[in-house]
Amino acid sequence: MCAMFWRNLVLGTILVTAASSSTQAAEFGRAASQEEIALWDIDVRPDGRGLPIGGGTAARGQVIFEQTCAACHGAGGQGGAKDRLVGGQGTLASAKPVKTVGSFWPYATSLFDYIRRAMPYPDPGSLTADETYAVTAYILSLNAIIPEDFVLSKENLAQVRMPNREGFVPDAEYIHIGNSR
């Protein structure tokens, strides 16, 4: 145990001084296979990269929502003990802004990503890809962002235009990232 620690420490020191990247990778950890990366690679970017195959409608989503989400978020996505998911449009510049998926979220991809990684709160990751599309469609349709019969899918989710898409102003220093590497 102790000998192992020192060997690794010495190894580490040599690697730092050598600072060559090609040989280092083999010394710590192990290569990640594409199959196992796929198990954990759950993020979805605004351009839709990362969306899984699948799709669903608000009608299907409503059934799932009532069973697995409404207890906390209220029937129809409001009036629950936890975050309100609907409404609030036109309030952002008022004294009492109401920030919801409908009034505030700039990307539908963020909604899919968030539900997939974090909801339902007690059992994150328990929805299938189709179910996640369906509840996403339901929340979007509650906010009148997509029609009720719209089939939300991998192919079209990134094109859904959110009402507050232009509502964010990034700090200038993080618009173009440069570094001296």
Partner 1 sequence: MLKRFSDPDRLSRRRFLTATAATAATAGGVIAAPATADTLADVPPRGPGDDLGAYSPRSPYVQIARIPEAAPGQRNVDPSAAINSKSPLDKFVGTITPTDLHYERSHSGVPNLDPSKHRVLVHGMVKQPLVLTLEDLRAMPSISRIAFLECTGNGWENWKSAPDTVTVQNTHGLVSTHEWTGVPLSFLIDLVGVDRASTWMLAEGDDGAAVARSIPLTDEIIAEGILAYGQNGEPLRPAHGFPVRLFLPGFEGNLNIKWLRRLKFGDQPFMTRWETARYTQLRPDGKARQFQLKQDVNSVITAPSGMMRIKPGSNRITGLAWSGHGRITRVEVSADGGATWAVAALTGPVLPKAQARFQHDWVWDGRPTKIVSRSTDEQGNVQPDRASFIAQVGTNALFHYSAQQTWGIDEAGHVRNVLA
- Please enumerate in sequence order all residues whose Cβ is within 8 A of that of 162, keeping only pairs 6 or more positions apart, or say none: 105, 106, 107, 108, 145
Name residue, tokens 């570094």. 179
Encoded tokens for 144 = 């009148």
Q: How many CA atoms lie within 13 A of 94 on its CB side?
A: 9
Q: Residue 119 interacts with ligand HEC (CB under 6 A)?
A: yes
What token pair was written down for 99? 């920030």
Site string for partner 1, 122-161 (x = CB under 8 A): --x-------------------------------------
The binder of ligand HEC chosen from 86, 115, 157, 160 (CB under 6 A): 115
**Which DSSP string do the residues of 86-122 spell out, in sequence order?**
S--TT-TTSSS----TTTT--BHHHHHHHHHHH-STT
C-alpha distances in angstroms, 99 versus 60, 75, 157, 164? 25, 18, 21, 10
Binding mask 47-86 for ligand HEC (x = CB under 6 A): ---------------------xx-xxx--------xx-x-
Q: Are 10 and 2 in contact (CB under 8 A)?
A: no
Residue 85's binding partner out of partner 1, ligand HEC, none, with CB under 5 to 8 Å set by partner kind: ligand HEC
- Name which of 64 and 111 has its Cβ closer to partner 1: 111
Query: Which residue in 118, 144, 149, 155 binds partner 1 (CB under 8 A)?
Result: 118
Tell me which residues in 41-100 interact with partner 1 (CB under 8 A): 41-46, 92-93, 95, 97, 99
Can you tell me which of 2, 3, 30, 35 binds partner 1, judged by CB under 8 A? 30
The rounded distance, in Å, linking the Cα atoms of 70 and 56 is 19
Cis preceding-peptide flag for 120 (omega within 30 of 0): yes
Enumerate binding residues for ligand HEC (CB under 6 A): 68-69, 71-73, 82-83, 85, 100-101, 111, 114-115, 119-122, 127, 135
In the complex, the residues that contact partner 1 under the rule CB under 8 A are 5, 8-9, 11-13, 15-16, 19, 21-22, 24-25, 28-32, 36-37, 40-46, 92-93, 95, 97, 99, 101, 104-107, 109-111, 113-114, 117-118, 121, 124, 167-171, 173-174, 177-181
